[in-house]
Amino acid sequence: MTKSITASELVKLMNNVWSSTKDIQRIGHVGANRAYEIRNEIRNQMMDDGQFVPRYMVATEYVIKYFNIDEKKIRKNALLEAGGVCNE
């Protein structure tokens, strides 16, 4: 298992276009073998959707969908972590 990450660290990973197996480990808080399986599942989904798939990466948007991450909530929490003001 990997250590948990803060909302701001998660936002940095979500801002990337592509995610590696290590990124999937961090985002999903899973081990290397499970992250590899998830990457392959996402890779197959991307290929089914007719997307370009680099060799060892998958699109971060698919990773976010896979883990059902609420982007707005994470970004709001990251802003609060940083001491920002949130008007929602």
d(CA 20, CA 23): 5
Cα separations in angstroms, 22 against 34, 76, 79: 11, 24, 24
pLDDT at 44: 95
pLDDT in tens, 18-71: 999 999 999 999 999 999 999 999 999 999 999 988 889 999 999 999 999 999
What the block records as the tokens of 4 is 């948990």
Q: What is the DSSP string of 27-83?
A: HHT--HHHHHHHHHHHHHHHHHTT----TT-EEHHHHHHHTT--HHHHHHHHHHHTT
pLDDT in tens, 32-47: 999 999 999 999 999 9
Output the pTM of the full model. 0.84
pLDDT at 4: 76
d(CA 29, CA 12): 15
Q: pLDDT tier at 82 (50, 70, 90 boundaries)?
A: confident
pLDDT at 52: 87
